[in-house]
Amino acid sequence: MIRTTVAGVVFWGVCAALGLTSLAGDAADRADPIKLLLSEDTKVRAEGQRRILMQTKTTVSQLAAIIDDPENHVHNSGAVQDAMRTLGALHATEGIDILIAYIGFPLVHHPKAPEYPQSVDGGTFGKPIEQLFPAVGALIEIGDPCVPRVIKKLGETKSVLEERACIAVLRRLSARPSVREQLLKAIKRAPPERRENLSKALAGLDETGQ
C-alpha cells in the first residue's frame, strides 16, 4: 500500500512537471471525491469539496423531481414520501420550496392530477402530523431556514389541510423567538382576508406556552 501511494505521488509529480495534464486529469476525474479531501494539497481538497457539493445538489434536484411528478403522486406515493423525508434528513434548504408546494401531500391532490383517489395507508386517525404530512417532518428537520416560506404559504393557502400542516411546522419550531416575531410581522403586513390563518398559527404558539 505504501509503495503504491509513493508511486502515485511520483506519478502525479511527473505528470505535473511534464505538463501531462490530460493523463493526470483523466485520473482525477475518476477519483473518489472523499479521497480527494484526504489530500495534503489544498487545491485537490477544494476540488473534492466542490464535487461533493455538486453531487448533493444533483441528489436534491432528483429528489425534487420525484416529488413534483404527478405520476408518482398517483402510482408511487411511497417514493414521494421517502423523497420528502430524505430532503429533511439531508437538511436540504434547496428542497424547501418543493416541500412547501406539496406540504399537504398525500391528503391534498397534486394540481396536475386532481382526479385520482387519495388515501393514507392505515388511515389517519391517531397518526402524528409528521406521518400524515411527510413534508411537515422534513421541514421541521430543516428548521429555521424554512420559517419565512412556511409563513408565506400559510398566508396564501385556502386549503384547511395545508393550513394545518403549516401551523404544525411553526408550532414545532416555536422555541425559536424568531418564529413569533416573523408571524407578528406577517400579520401586520397581510391584507385583512389573509390574516386569519396567520392569527391561528400565532394562537397555536400561545397554546404551547411559547
Does residue 60 share a domain with residue 1? no
Residues 137 and 191 reside in one and the same domain: yes
**Residues 128, 82: one domain?**
yes
What is the extent of the structural domain holding 190? 31-207
Q: Is 34 exposed, middle or buried (0-12, 13-18, 19+ CB in 10 A)?
A: exposed
Global pTM reads 0.76
Q: Same domain, yes or no, for 134 and 201?
A: yes
Same domain, yes or no, for 10 and 37?
Answer: no
pLDDT in tens, 51-87: 999 999 999 999 999 999 999 999 999 999 999 999 9
Question: Is the distance from CB of 123 to CB of 72 less than 8 angstroms?
Answer: no
Dihedral sign for Cα 196, 120, 65, 144, please: positive
Shared domain check, 142 and 56: yes
How many separate domains does the chain show?
2
Residue 15 is predicted with a pLDDT of: 46
